[in-house]
C-alpha cells in the first residue's frame, strides 16, 4: 500500500502537435468581437461616407410613400412624411456619435485637470474639489444634463456640452484616486528631491503614470454619452427636427408605435447595438493589451 501511495504521479500527456494553449489562441476570432468590429466599420462608413450606404437624402420626402413597412427598397420603412428611415438612421450616425465624442472630451479634459489638482496639491484644493464632486455625484447624470441644457438652450451641441459637464465628476474622482496612488511612488519623490518643480513632476511623472484606468473608462463613458444624448433628444432637450438624430427618430416614431412600430424600434435597436459594440470593442482592446504584455 505504501508503495502505491508513494508512486509518482503520471506525467501529463504532451500537447498535440500544432495545438495552442488558451493564452495563445487569437482573441480576434471570437464571433462576438468580429460582429462588433463589423458593426463599428459600418458606423465609420456611415459617419464619413453616408452616401455610399444610401442614395437618398435624409430630408427627402415622398408624400405618396408614407409609413411604408420595411422592404427591399426601404429596409427600415418610411416615416410619416415618406422619408426613408434607413437613410435617416445612416445620416444621423455622424450627429449622434460626434456629439457623444464631444461630451466625452469635455468630461475627460475637465476631469483630468480637476482630478490632478485635487490629488497632487491636496489640502484645501482637494477638499474644495472633492466637495463639488460629491454634490455632482449626488445628482442623477441625466437630470443634471437636463438642467444644464435648459440653461444653455436646446440643440445637439448644447446637449453634448451638458452631458460632458455631467460626466466631469466621474472622471475627476478616478483621476484623483490614481494621482494619489502615483504621487507616493519612489520615482515621484526622487523627482522632487532632484529639484523638479510641482508642475514638472505632475506633467512628466504623475500624469503619464495615471491615465491607464482613465482611458479604460473612456469607452464606457462614450456609450453612456450616446444613451444620454439620445435620451435628451427623445425628451425634446437635444436635437431639433428635422435633424436625423437617433433619439429624435425614436421620439418621432413613438407617435406611430401601434401602426408602424418599426419607426421607433429600429433606431432604438441601433442605439443599443452601438453601445454594446463599443463595450465589446473596449473589452477586445483590453485583451489585446494583456496579450502584448
Residue 187 lies in a domain: yes
> Of 179-183, 187-191, 236-240, 285-289, which has the strongest mean pLDDT?
236-240
Position 12 pLDDT exceeds 70: no
Residue 10 lies in a domain: no
Q: How far is CA 264 from CA 18, 235, 261, 281, in A?
A: 50, 14, 6, 26
Are 288 and 27 spatial neighbours (Cβ–Cβ below 8 Å)?
yes
Residue 147 lies in a domain: yes
Phi/psi for 78 (5° steps) reads: -125, 160
206 vs 177 pLDDT, higher one: 177
- Report the distance separating Cα 86 and Cα 54, nearest Å: 8
User: Mean pLDDT across the stretch 102-110?
Assistant: 96
User: Mean pLDDT across the stretch 20-35?
Assistant: 65
- Report the distance separating Cα 78 and Cα 20, nearest Å: 51
Q: What residues make up the domain containing 161?
A: 33-42+79-287
Model confidence at 43, pLDDT cuts 50, 70, 90, reads very high
For the chain, how big is the Rg over CA atoms in Å?
Answer: 26
- Report the distance separating Cα 174 and Cα 192, nearest Å: 24
Mean pLDDT of the chain: 87
Position 4 pLDDT exceeds 50: no
Low-confidence winner among 8-12, 47-51, 52-56, 200-204 (lowest mean pLDDT) = 8-12
What is the per-residue pLDDT for 288? 79
- Report the distance separating Cα 221 and Cα 9, nearest Å: 51
Residue 69 lies in a domain: no
Residue 144 lies in a domain: yes
Q: Give the CATH number, domain containing residue 117.
A: 1.10.3720.10
Phi/psi for 18 (5° steps) reads: 90, -10
Residue 126 lies in a domain: yes
Torsion of CA 155, 156, 158, 159, to 10 degrees: 110
Residue 66 lies in a domain: no
Using omega within 30 degrees of 0 as the cis cutoff, is the peptide bond preceding 242 cis?
A: yes
Number of separate domains in the chain = 1
Phi/psi for 84 (5° steps) reads: -70, 120
What is the per-residue pLDDT for 28? 52
240 DSSP β-pair partners: none
Closest listed residue to residue 235, CA positions, set 145, 105, 169? 145
Are 229 and 291 spatial neighbours (Cβ–Cβ below 8 Å)?
no
High-pLDDT (> 70) share of the chain, %: 88
Torsion of CA 2, 4, 5, 10, to 10 degrees: 150
High-pLDDT (> 90) share of the chain, %: 66
Residue 2 lies in a domain: no
Amino acid at each position: 500500500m505504501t508503495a502505491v501511495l508513494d508512486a509518482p504521479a503520471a506525467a501529463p500527456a504532451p500537447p498535440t502537435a500544432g495545438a495552442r494553449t488558451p493564452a495563445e489562441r487569437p482573441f480576434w476570432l471570437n464571433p462576438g468581437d468580429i460582429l462588433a468590429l463589423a458593426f463599428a466599420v459600418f458606423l465609420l462608413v456611415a459617419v464619413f461616407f453616408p452616401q455610399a450606404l444610401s442614395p437618398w437624402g435624409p430630408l427627402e420626402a415622398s408624400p405618396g410613400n408614407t409609413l411604408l413597412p420595411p422592404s427591399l427598397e426601404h429596409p427600415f420603412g418610411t416615416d410619416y412624411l415618406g422619408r426613408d428611415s434607413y437613410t435617416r438612421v445612416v445620416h444621423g450616425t455622424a450627429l449622434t456619435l460626434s456629439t457623444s465624442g464631444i461630451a466625452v472630451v469635455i468630461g475627460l479634459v475637465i476631469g483630468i485637470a480637476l482630478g490632478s489638482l485635487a490629488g497632487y496639491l491636496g489640502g484645501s484644493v482637494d477638499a474644495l474639489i472633492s466637495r463639488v464632486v460629491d454634490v455632482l455625484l449626488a445628482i442623477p447624470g441625466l437630470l443634471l444634463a437636463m438642467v444644464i441644457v435648459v440653461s444653455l438652450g436646446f440643440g445637439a451641441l448644447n446637449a453634448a456640452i451638458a452631458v460632458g459637464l455631467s460626466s466631469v465628476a466621474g472622471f475627476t474622482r478616478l483621476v484623483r484616486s490614481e494621482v494619489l496612488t502615483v504621487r507616493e511612488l519612489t520615482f515621484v519623490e526622487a523627482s522632487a528631491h532632484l529639484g523638479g518643480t510641482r508642475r514638472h513632476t505632475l506633467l512628466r511623472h504623475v500624469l503619464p503614470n495615471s491615465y491607464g484606468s482613465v482611458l479604460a473608462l473612456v469607452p464606457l463613458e462614450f456609450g453612456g454619452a450616446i444613451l444620454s444624448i439620445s435620451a435628451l433628444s427623445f425628451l425634446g432637450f437635444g436635437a431639433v427636427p428635422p435633424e436625423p438624430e437617433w433619439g429624435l427618430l425614436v421620439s418621432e416614431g413613438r407617435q406611430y408605435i401601434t401602426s408602424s412600430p418599426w419607426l421607433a424600434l429600429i433606431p432604438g435597436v441601433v442605439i443599443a447595438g452601438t453601445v454594446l459594440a463599443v463595450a465589446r470593442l473596449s473589452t477586445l482592446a483590453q485583451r489585446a493589451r494583456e496579450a502584448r504584455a
